[in-house]
Chain A
């Protein structure tokens, strides 16, 4: 018989098991076919880096709690009790050795969702206060911002005033504005902390005459990374309430993989109904604009070779695969796709919140090797990415693997190619790695 299982742990884990997760826990036959689909394994081919090996560590604990044979004859089915040491190992694995990219899922003959399995471990760790501190702090900081809104609002508006000055300089229009709190607005734009996701979008909204305003809150949602759904919902709720209060028709999320996935796909399920507004990525909007001629662009402004890195959250998880390519083909002369790409793209190694975890730096740089090889194979001088975390990671792997490539975002490239109001303010030939 197996050692006594903590009722609290069993309850916590049990609550997380829905049909999707249960099927993924039960279906794997350990055929091993998924091994090379993982960028960790590609970078360092050892058993611990295969998706099936990692998921099996969770399954062994699951069997000890929920499988009848696992309780009676644990060795027969490889059930192991969830001791503290065991849970610590699983927590480290779920946060550090899996970026929840789902590449193994699309490559599994069964479609086993290993990311869902790892997320369940993250959720249990969060519930017990064992998630990486920095991720929890970042999630809490988002909530603190809302709670101290009165104090924070004035500072924020002052910063927006300064950005407006910059926008006027860049656009050459003294009337250019970064509006906030506009009722019945067409577009509520949700950026990240920092000017780098506000200014380029503001310029594009200005150029297109879009009826827009900037959200008072940032798009990032670290509640998703720590798999703390109530917290993630609270963070999302700030934006949802704002959009409803302003009666916004469309919420446009900046270049951020997890923020888009959260608001576009996950959050409606937490509320149990679709939102009364449309949720779009800035990338979708840009693709629309370059396709329908709202934005006139000159690809000769971006003559250098450029490739595109699909953020896992935007591509494989959200289906934004064609849109970035539509933009790049329109605004660049020499776009070269990576192999593989789209739903088969390799994670850059920085997903799942890893970029924020200092202790994960060596692991993620190592796991970024397949991406570095992919970039190198294209021979491109620039790598475009539509996710802030990906851009940070790509910048670091470009340096570490001496790729000689520079990282940029899609809005910057669009601005560079813009006709007729093109200005010299933003130049794609500078490294535009997003900071905080």
Chain B
């Protein structure tokens, strides 16, 4: 192994440990908070509400806001597809060279689109005054970091020598996630779950109304 590869693996391992410790810390501090169970008799089904929240409720046409901001929402989806794709590349990185070059080029192209979508996040943030005013250095750094993460994953799929650099960036992303804006990836599951239980239990969501 080269020094760069050893550095990459080491930083990645440190990042992974920080990620696990950080997630555990976030979960611990959240789960230590009161979990209020709605004891009022239900009108709809909380379970169906949760299913909706994680499925049809995420569809671009499900909400007025996402219909109105369709391009921004689709950009977000493509961006996040790029994030998950890059994570998949990271997991598969020891074996990725066993894939033939056409498949790797295809993956790189998809991730390339993801990184362009990620870059679009800067444009949206700069363009809108309200977003500019609430954006923190952490917002820009997180977005930049993830943009580089996706872009370098794309390059690493076609240029083998870039892989150690991808591991280094991945280590930084993983380690930074629990203490930054990136932790929304943890809390997303909480808020969507709570959205589903709240509006499902009360029969507000059409999808949940029939069940009771």
Contacts and interface: CB of A to CB of B under 8 A. Distances in A.
Contact of A34 (B41, B65, B128, B194): B65
Given A23-B30, A265-B38, A76 B204 contact: no
Given A47-B130, A316-B204, A109 B72 contact: no
Contact of B65 (A36, A265, A315): A36
Given A18-B34, A107-B64, A111-B194, A319 B181 contact: no
Interface string B7-46: 0000000000000000000100111011111111101100
A317 B202 contact: yes
A247 to B, nearest CB: 19
A112 B131 CA distance: 17
A52 B133 CA distance: 11
Q: How large is the interface on A (under 10, 10 to 19, 20 to 34, 35 or more residues)?
A: 35 or more
A33 B77 CA distance: 13
A31 interface: yes
The interface residues of chain B, by DSSP majority, are classed as helix
A268 interface: yes
Interface stretch (B88-96, B103-111, B150-158, B185-193): B185-193
B146 to A, nearest CB: 11
A340 interface: yes
A172 interface: no
Given A23-B187, A110-B191, A77 B136 contact: yes
Given A30-B139, A265-B40, A37 B64 contact: yes
Interface string A299-320: 0000000000000000111110
A347 to B, nearest CB: 14
A105 interface: yes
Contact of B64 (A77, A78, A340): A340
Interface in A254-300: 264-269, 271-274, 278
Most central of A30, A108, A271 by chain B CB within 10 Å: A30
Q: How large is the interface on B (under 10, 10 to 19, 20 to 34, 35 or more residues)?
A: 35 or more
B36 A111 contact: no
A33 B121 CA distance: 13
Contact of B73 (A109, A110, A271, A278): A109
A20 B190 CA distance: 8
Interface string A4-46: 0000000000000111111110111111111111000000000
Given A107-B65, A109-B58, A111-B53, A318 B204 contact: yes
Interface string A76-87: 111000000000
Given A19-B33, A19-B35, A19-B190, A52 B130 contact: yes
A340 B63 CA distance: 11
A32 B183 contact: no
A180 interface: no
B66 A109 contact: yes
B144 interface: no
Contacts of A315: 204
A170 interface: no
B40 A27 contact: no
Given A19-B190, A269-B39, A26 B179 contact: no
A230 to B, nearest CB: 16
A27 B191 contact: yes
A321 interface: yes
Nearest to B136: A78
B65 A20 contact: no
A340 B67 CA distance: 13
Given A33-B69, A319-B209, A321-B204, A109 B30 contact: no
Nearest to A48: B130
A169 to B, nearest CB: 38
Given A26-B184, A28-B184, A113-B194, A343 B72 contact: no
Given A24-B191, A110-B184, A110-B188, A30 B131 contact: yes
B76 A109 contact: yes
A110 B192 contact: yes
B195 A269 contact: no
Contacts of B204: 106, 315-319, 321, 343
B102 interface: no
A327 to B, nearest CB: 17
A76 B34 contact: no
Nearest to A59: B134
Contact of B187 (A26, A56, A69, A340): A26
Contact of A19 (B30, B128, B131, B138): B30
Contact of A53 (B66, B130, B195): B130
A344 interface: yes
A245 interface: no
A32 B130 contact: yes
A98 to B, nearest CB: 16
30 contacts: A18-B34, A19-B34, A19-B35, A19-B190, A26-B30, A26-B184, A27-B187, A27-B190, A27-B191, A32-B130, A32-B131, A33-B65, A33-B69, A37-B65, A52-B130, A52-B134, A53-B134, A107-B63, A107-B65, A109-B73, A110-B191, A111-B53, A111-B194, A112-B191, A113-B198, A273-B39, A274-B40, A278-B41, A319-B43, A343-B205
Interface of A: 17-24, 26-37, 47, 50, 52-53, 56, 68-69, 75-78, 105-113, 264-269, 271-274, 278, 315-319, 321, 340, 343-344
Given A33-B65, A113-B195, 10 more contacts: A18-B33, A19-B36, A26-B186, A27-B184, A32-B131, A33-B66, A36-B64, A69-B180, A109-B76, A111-B195
Q: Give the 6 A-B residue pairs with the shortest CB-CB distance, closest first.
A: A111-B195, A47-B130, A319-B203, A23-B190, A78-B136, A107-B65
Interface of B: 26, 29-31, 33-41, 43-44, 53, 58, 63-66, 68-69, 72-73, 76, 124, 128-131, 133-139, 179-181, 183-184, 186-188, 190-192, 194-196, 198-199, 202-205, 209
